[in-house]
């Protein structure tokens, strides 16, 4: 079972030139589809004189959300080479946008593929890649006298307590690494005084 994934920590930038054309690659860590627009729109404003803003992203720990966009370049000459470099580094939750300023000389499809691939490779080469634990959120409910036990078990399995609502019945929102998930949930349930919901918060 896969329990970790790799991504980049912070944005990076690199540039590749060929026959007068400039290919400026921007790599960003992203968490949602909304982040794509958040980064793409300001780049288009900042580089409004550019000819193309091609991009690709891969999202999610399973990597199943992805897109490759050629933005007017010949089909398969921009977005796919960008996505190919993201995949060759083995990262997800990553967006790469390559801004192209046309230099007056046509590069042809092989030239474009090479340029977009090289610009992306350089931007990712300077990025700091980290390995993160895949995490799941669980919700706990217990009476106040059993709160300490709930927290003790959370600490034992390195769980992060994201929220706590301490009333007559205490409610905790907890984030758990996938590696510790089953053992920790079982430990809470074994107390019989702690209710665990793995699907959604308690009503």
The segments of the chain whose pLDDT lies below 70 read none
Q: The tokens of 170 are what?
A: 């205490």
Specify the pLDDT at position 1.
72
DSSP 135: E
CB within 8 A of 84, min separation 6: which ones?
117
Q: What angle do CA 111, 22, 130 make, to 5 degrees?
A: 90
CA pseudo-torsion sign 35, 113, 25, 94: positive
Global confidence as pTM = 0.78
**pLDDT of 168:** 81
User: What pLDDT score was predicted for residue 156?
Assistant: 97
pLDDT of residue 63: 84
Cα separation, 84 vs 23, in Å, equals 17
| Residue 117 CA, distance from chain mean position | 20
């Amino acid at each position: 079972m896969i329990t970790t994934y790799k991504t980049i920590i912070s944005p990076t930038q690199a540039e590749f030139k060929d026959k007068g054309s400039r290919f400026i690659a921007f790599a960003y860590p992203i968490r949602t589809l909304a982040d794509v627009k958040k980064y793409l729109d300001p780049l288009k404003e900042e580089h409004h004189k550019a000819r193309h803003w091609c991009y690709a992203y891969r999202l999610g720990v399973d990597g199943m959300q992805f897109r490759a966009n050629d933005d007017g370049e010949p089909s398969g000459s921009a977005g796919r080479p960008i996505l190919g470099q993201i995949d060759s580094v083995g990262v997800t939750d990553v967006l790469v946008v390559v801004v192209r300023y046309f230099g007056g000389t046509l590069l042809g499809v092989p030239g474009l593929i090479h340029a977009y691939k090289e610009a992306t490779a350089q931007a990712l080469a300077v990025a700091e890649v980290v390995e993160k634990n895949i995490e799941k959120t669980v919700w706990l409910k217990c009476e106040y006298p059993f709160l300490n036990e709930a927290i003790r078990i959370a600490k034992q399995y390195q769980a992060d307590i994201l929220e706590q609502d301490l009333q007559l019945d205490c409610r905790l929102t907890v984030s758990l690494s996938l590696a510790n998930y089953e053992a920790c949930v079982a430990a809470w349930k074994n107390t019989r005084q702690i209710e665990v919901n793995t699907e959604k918060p308690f009503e």
